[in-house]
Each structure stands twice: as C-alpha cells, then as structure tokens.
Amino acid sequence: MVRKEPSNEIAYEIRWKSAVVTATDPAHFAGVGKLAAVSGTVFTHGTPSVTFSADQGTADKEKEVLTLEGNVKLTAVDGNSVVKGTTVLCDLMTYATADQIIKAEGRVSAVSSQFSMGPVPEAWCSNTLSQIASPSNFVPVRHNQPAPTHS
Amino acid sequence: MTRSSAASVLLLACGVASAVLTGTRGQGASFTWGELKVTNIDPEHYSFDFATGKFSILGHPRLHATMSKKHLTVDSARLDGTADTTTKTMKTAKLSGGVKGQMESTTKDGDEHLSFAGPTVTYTSVGAATDQLADIDVSGGANFATSNASLGRTLSLSGSHGLFRVQSGDNAALQTADLDGPVTMHYDGVQVSVDRSKKPPVTSRSPVSGVAVGGHLTVSRAGNGNYLVRMSGGVHLKEVTGPNAGAEINTTAVNLEFDTSGTLVRFGSDAESTATVPVGKARG
C-alpha cells in the first residue's frame, strides 16, 4: 500500500504478510484493518528516510494515519543524514501525514553509533529521526514541519 | 461482596494504579553521546537534535552527568548542550539549577579533587579535543575549591562570578581563574619559609591557614608551573593558623605564589599596606 501526500509525493509505503479487514465496513476496506507482520518506509520529500517494522499495523486512509503496534522498530536510512542508522524501538507508533511527526509510545529508546537514549514513556520524532523529544519539547519548525496535532 | 471487602478491593486497585504511575514517572531516563553520559533525566522533558548536536534535558528532579575521560561529574536541574557531531565531544554545556561539579585525578602528590558550584555554569571545551582544557564560567555566585588530602591542602575561592580554566583528565588542575568580587579565599596548607639570616639560609615548612577578602582575584601560571594568585580591590587578609597566626593585613593588593603541589612559597604586596601582628608573633 502506498500513501501519497497532496503534493503527490509518497508519504509512506507499507507491506504486510497477512491482513484482517472488517467486511461490514467497506468504506474502510484496504484503508483500515489489522495488518500483521508489517514493514515499510516513510518518505521525506520523496526520499526514503525511515524504514519500519512491527508485529501489526493499521493504515487509516481516511485519517491518513499509520499506526504500528508491538515490537516497533524504526531505522533512519537517509544516506545524506548524519543520523543514518539511528534506530528507535517502542511498543506503539503513530504517524500522521498531516504533521509528519513520528509519535512513539511505550518503552521508547533510541540508539545509533553516536548516542543512545531512553527508556521514556513517550517520544516524538521528526520523520528523519534527527530530532527526538518529549511531546512538550518537540519543535517542529526546525524541520519546516506543520504544527503538531496533539491528540 | 460486603461493603468492607469492596472497599478493600477498591483500595488495592488504587494502590496498584498508583504504583504503576509512580513506577513510570519515577524512573529517570539516560542518555549517552560519546563520553558524555547523563542519567536521571525527566522522561517528560528532553529534546535531542542529532543533526545540529543540540540537546536540552531536565533532571528528575536533578540529573547526573559524567564525562569519564575528563573525570568530571556534574549534578544540576537542567542541561542545555551542544556536541560536535563529528568528534562526538561536548562543545558547550549550560547547566543551571544548583550546579555542583567535581573533577578527580591521581597525581604523584596524591588524589587531586576539584569542585565548582553555582546557580548557572557554562562549560566550554577549549582547544583540540586531546587538550582536555575547558572553561568553566560560574555566574550568580561562584564557588571553586581544589584540595589534596595527602598534602593536607585546600584552596577555596568564592565570588559573585568566576571564570576558571581547568585541565581535565588524568592531570586535572586549575590553570587560570578570574573572580569578580566580593571575593573570599580560604587556604589551608603548608607554607615554606626561608630564614636568610642563617648561613646557609634555613628552609622550614609549617602548617598555615588564612582567609582573605577582596574585590577581585586572578590565578595564573608562572613559567615554572607555580600558581600566581593576585587579589586586589581592597584586600583584608588574616592568618588563622601558622607562624603569624592572628596577623591581619589591609592593603590594596596581595600576591601569593604556590608551587605546583599547592604549597605557599611566597607572599607579598606591591601596594601600601598596614599590618597588625599579635603580641609575641612579630618577628624582627
């Protein structure tokens, strides 16, 4: 499944091994559903920036929110970034194309060749993983991102 | 279920919920970057920007930072820093909220202990990473001390503001200092005196301690490594223990010289002075 931003740039790409979709909700078919053993890629300005994997996930087409649950692993892959190789681990992750902030919850930790941090109950990350902060300290303007949507 | 057993279950449930919350909130997070390790971070107040090397951390309630190669430990409420993303070394760190820092090193004269404290401390690496030099700028009331238990020597300085250049690492030592007044200096150690009336001159070592207050104080290093301390701006100095215990001097400026182990080897004033010496202590 490929989710595109309004600019027609790819926001993220998700793959899975099996899926359960609620048949009584055809409007959300192929949009919402438990996808098992998911993996995929988040794109920033059309370039792969973060790869991910998790036990399961949902991609809500209507809300344009990607949710990953269970053994979530995110890895920065942008070859031009100094944080390439940075890995974030957590229990739950949501990524909305509206604000492009990776919101990680549950035993969040991050590690790279340069640093390690955690565990924290919650962290917001830029979609390149170059910035990791508590929700109250996240500064989206540094990355020219839209204002965050606090849920 | 009776009313009392229902209440017990409710209390138990509340207790479990409370314990879970306490456990989550009570655990400080940790962060490492190069040789910097910070523990007891508030898990709700932190920010790392790895592209620029900037980070901001609150303690839980106080954070503990160590830089192992520099033998440096710091405790404070907050840390805002910038690290070099290439060399993985700390460039600057602004610490605030009851800052207390320590440096330790083992020298040929015994364990050297340096400490600094103040409301706000800015730590800046100086020179190349291998130089292990750093400027420690303490504002809002500065305290600095260096001591060596093996030598029985303690020098402590306090002022309204202080800038200290220190050599960290295996040879931790104060290099220079500049304190704004009112400055207070306490010294407890050994004084070397040379009696030149004897042929040949007789050198003696005696315990000495004293306190001095003034308007400004600087510490610099002489070519032979000795420490040159100059206190100026209206100085009042009193020898508490030692050969001239009780003696007091009022002067414009005093110069003290300590050798590399911290022994007082020279004392003098290059300005008009008045001295009061207790009866029986005056020497001809």
What residue ranges define each of the domains in chain B, with the CATH number in brackets?
A: 3-276 (2.60.450.10)
CA distance B114 to B132: 15
Average model confidence (pLDDT) for chain B?
86
* Burial (Cβ within 10 Å: 0-12, 13-18, ≥19) of residue B276: exposed
Q: What is the pLDDT of residues B47-106, one digit of tens each?
A: 999 888 999 999 999 999 999 888 999 999 999 999 888 877 888 999 999 999 999 988
Question: What residues of A are in contact with residue B87 (Cβ under 8 Å)?
Answer: none
Structure token pair of residue B113: 């202990």
pLDDT category of residue A147 using cuts at 50, 70 and 90: low
* A87 in contact with B, Cβ within 8 Å: no
3-state secondary structure of B109: coil
User: Could you tell me which residue, B238 or B167, shows the higher pLDDT?
Assistant: B238
**A127 touching B (Cβ < 8 Å):** no
Q: Chain B contacts of A86, Cβ < 8 Å?
A: 50
Q: How many helices (H) and strands (E) does chain A have?
A: 0, 10
pLDDT of residue B85: 81
User: What is the DSSP secondary structure assignment for residue B152, as one 8-state letter?
Assistant: T
How far is Cα A97 from Cα A141, in angstroms, rounded to an integer? 16
Tell me if the bond preceding B200 is cis, omega within 30° of 0.
Answer: yes
Q: Would the CB atoms of A136 and B44 count as touching at under 8 Å?
A: yes
A55 belongs to a structural domain:
yes
Predicted confidence at residue B276, as pLDDT, reads: 75
Residue A129 lies in a domain: yes
Secondary structure of residue B274 in the 3-state scheme: strand
Using beta carbons and an 8 Å cutoff, which residues of B are at the interface with A? Answer: 24, 27, 29-34, 43-51, 56, 85, 88
Per the structure, the count of domains in chain A is 1
Which residues touch A2 (CB under 8 Å, ≥6 apart)? A10, A12, A13
pLDDT band with cut points at 50, 70 and 90 for residue B255 = very high
**Would A110 be classed as within a structural domain?**
yes
pLDDT at res. B55? 95
Interchain proximity B30–A112, CB inside 8 Å: no
Domain range for A46 is 2-21+29-143
Number of Cβ atoms within 10 Å of the Cβ of A28: 15
Q: Is residue A101 included in any domain, yes or no?
A: yes
Helices (H) and strands (E) in chain B, counts: 1, 14
Closest CA to B168 of B70, B96, B98, B93: B70
One-letter amino acid of A150: H
Return the minimum-mean-pLDDT range out of A2-11, A47-56, A127-136, B190-199.
Answer: A2-11
Chain A residues touching residue B54 (CB < 8 angstroms): none
Q: Inform me whether the pLDDT recorded for A136 exceeds 80.
A: yes
Per-residue pLDDT tens over the stretch A74-83: 999 987 778 8
- pLDDT of res. A6: 59
| Amino acid identity, position A146 | P
Strands (E), B127-247: 133-148, 153-167, 173-195, 202-221, 227-241
* Mean pLDDT (whole number) for B3-21: 40
Out of B29, B33, B34, closest to residue A118 by CB: B29
Residue A114 falls inside a structural domain: yes
Q: Give Cα B50 to chain centroid, integer Å.
A: 30
Instruction: Give pLDDT, residue A90.
Output: 98
Query: Which residues on A lie below 8 Å from B80 (Cβ)?
Result: none
The pTM of the full predicted model, rounded to 2 decimals, is 0.83
Q: φ and ψ at B269, to 5 degrees?
A: -135, 135
Q: Note whether residue A149 is domain-resident.
A: no
- Split at pLDDT 50, 70, 90, the class of A25 is very low
Check residue B233 and give left, alpha or beta (phi > 0: left; psi -120 to 50: alpha): left
* DSSP three-state, residue A118: strand
**Sign, Cα dihedral of A50, A51, A56, A59:** positive
Whether A148 is in a domain gets the answer no
Residue B49 to residue A130, Cβ atoms within 8 A:
yes
> What pLDDT, on the 0 to 100 scale, is given for residue B10?
41
- Chain B contact set for A141 (CB, 8 A): none
ipTM for this prediction: 0.85
On the CB side of B129, CA atoms within 13 Å amount to: 13
CATH number, domain of A58, equals: 2.60.450.10
What is the average pLDDT across B148-153?
A: 93
* CB atoms A137 and B47 under 8 Å: yes
